[in-house]
Amino acid sequence: MHRQSNTFKKFIKARLSTKGSSGLYLTLLLLMLIMAVGVFGAIAEDVITSDPLTVVDARFSAWLHAHSSHSRTLVMLLITNIHSTLGVTVMTLAISGYLWIKRFRVWVLTLMLTVFGGMLLNFLLKHVFVRPRPYFENPLLTFTSYSFPSGHTMMATVFYGTLCTLIVSHGISWGWRVLAIAAAGIMILLVGFSRIYLGAHYLSDVLAAIAEGLAWLAFCLLAVGELKRRRKWNQEK
């Protein structure tokens, strides 16, 4: 019994260790993956079964549409256009080029995998759920694709999430780490809100996309970390 107790304590200590990539870092990624998948599943179930969340969706979208203004619409259009598939692709390639020059080769792979793999995942999920877009008699924008989950929000989540992880994991001060996390969170929420405001998505589409993005981000970070350990890329930053 004493030996088992010591083994359990060592296991817990190892999982909470801040040294190396197999301690607290791995534990947090696994927790994020499990929780994000659970949240996505719960939202998806509510959407499929038309639970009360879908009523909140319709009311919130209708309220935003009724209180839209020309100036706010221009700002929301700017945000959403910057984070279109083309916009995120250009930003991803530009930052990947910079990281490659700085010899952050593993992070180039990570960013490419999270962003472009996330785009593919979101495309497949849209065609699984085939949820129609919100409908308005005088829409701000018109769409032909499906609504659930939000592609713009998903791309923003994995894009800013990866950059945030890169900054946080490289030993800078706690102030900069907090700033990076806050900035990433604000940008993701702004993109998500712009999609609801413009009538492109429901609230549940955006929330599910954030959960989807966090789950995919965690999965990619775990996969690249395992690949790095197997290939012994210790010389990479």
For 188-205, write each residue's pLDDT tens digit.
Answer: 999 999 999 998 999 999
The pLDDT of residue 17 is 44
pLDDT at 66 over 90: no
Tell me how far apart the alpha carbons of residues 237 and 229 are, in angstroms, rounded to a whole number.
13
Q: In whole angstroms, how large is the CA radius of gyration of the chain?
A: 20
Share of the chain above pLDDT 70, in %: 87
Number of C-beta neighbours around residue 196 at 10 A: 23
Give the model confidence (pLDDT) of 119-155 as tens digits: 999 999 999 999 999 888 777 777 778 999 999 999 9
Q: How far apart are CA 12 and CA 23, in angstroms?
A: 9
How many of the other CB atoms lie within 10 Å of CB of 32? Answer: 18
pLDDT tens track for 98-108: 999 998 989 99
Give which of 237, 236, 217, 227 is closest to 28, Cα–Cα. 217
User: What is the C-alpha separation between 182 and 194, in angstroms, rounded?
Assistant: 18
Going by C-alpha positions, the residue among 151, 81, 146 that lies closest to residue 121 is 151
Which of 158, 160, 145, 150 is CA-nearest to residue 61?
150
Residue 10 is predicted with a pLDDT of: 46
The structure tokens listed for 177 are 């780490």
Query: Domain ranges in the chain?
Result: 2-231
Q: What is the DSSP string of 56-73?
A: HHHHHHHHHHHT--HHHH
The top-level CATH class assigned to 2-231 is mainly alpha
Structure letter (DSSP) for residue 103: T
Question: What letter represents residue 93's amino acid?
Answer: L
pTM of the model: 0.85
Burial 67-92 (b: 16+ CB within 10 A, else e): eeeeeeeeebeebbebbeeeebeebb
